[in-house]
Amino acid sequence: MNKNIVFFLSLFLFVVNINAKDKIYWDTVNYPPSLISEGNYKNQGFSDMSRELLMFNLKEYEHELLSGSIQKAMGDLESNENFCFVGLTRDKYKEEFIQFSKPFIEILPNELIIRAKDKKRFKSYIGINNVVNLHRLLQNNGFIFGYVNNRKYTSYIDRLILLNEEKKHLFKKEVGESTRGLVELLNNDKFDYTIEYPTIVSYVKNEQNIKEEFLMFPIASADELTKLYVGCSQNEFGKNVIQKVDKIIEQNESMFKSFYRTWLDYDSKKQYEQFGKLNK
């Protein structure tokens, strides 16, 4: 009798093990409008919606969403466990411990942001097609520049900041703080110009009910679209997930792009379409 119980118990455990699904832990942060982990638009950012589409298609896995800081997310990805993240930029540091997908979307690049009332002050730095010469502008200590310390913009912009970071007219904001605070600080006249994604400027203006009008200008030598990726821990599990994610990306290119377009204002949509024509 005892042997029969042991046999059926072993059989039950075997069947449960067969049917058990591996779980993906999806880290997220509050970085609107890409990732929104709080407020009225929670989980409705364009990377949030992209993650939902991936989860829907990855039915062979269980999924758990974990909200925290970007530092926590990077630590999780480096831990060699079953963690993934949607909406990453790619650089040599991250490549050491993250298995990257193909880019699932390309977004408008960071642009130079000023208060509209200050346009005349910047006139001599604005060239053809409204492109700004950031290299020349950073030499002028009559303008205070606000930026996020250790944030990756583009290799060109990062190099310019590195060359000028010791100058007194650069206002450094720590990476742990909300990056959307740059728009709020610009609104409060804490500095004269900053660099940010157009979607973030529009989002913060609406969320904070900011009345100040801002102007956005492409930056010379730094106006390529920014690629965003899905990243998983660099282990066998992560590699398998990314292989499946790549196929989903290939099959749903227009859907991922539509998630991003919903967050663009009229002028940004026109600019995005223009980039699309140039890249054909």
Examine the pLDDT at 1 and tell me if it is beyond 80.
Answer: no
pLDDT band at 4 (very low <50, low <70, confident <90, very high): low
Tell me the whole-structure pTM to 2 decimals.
0.83
pLDDT of residue 266: 85
The CATH class that applies to domain 111-217 reads alpha beta
pLDDT exceeds 70 at position 16: no
265 pLDDT above the threshold of 50: yes
- How many Å apart are CA 262 and CA 199, to the nearest integer? 10
Max mean pLDDT among 4-8, 87-91, 237-241 falls in 237-241
Phi, psi of 108 (to 5 degrees): -60, 145
3-state DSSP of 19-62: HCCEEEEEEECCECCCECCCCCCCCCCHHHHHHHHHHHHCCCEE
Mean pLDDT of the chain: 88
Give the pLDDT confidence score for residue 279 in this predicted structure.
56
Name the DSSP letter for residue 175: T
Q: 21-107+226-278 and 111-217 share one CATH topology?
A: yes
pLDDT for 35 equals: 96
The mean per-residue pLDDT over the stretch 93-108 comes to 96
Instruction: Please state the rounded mean pLDDT for residues 127-148.
Output: 93
Give CA–CA dist 37/129, Å, rounded.
Answer: 36
Question: For the chain, which residues make up each domain, given as ranges?
Answer: 21-107+226-278, 111-217
* CATH class for the domain made up of 21-107+226-278: alpha beta
Binning pLDDT at 50, 70 and 90, where does residue 14 land? very low
Looking at residues 253-257, what average pLDDT do you find?
A: 97
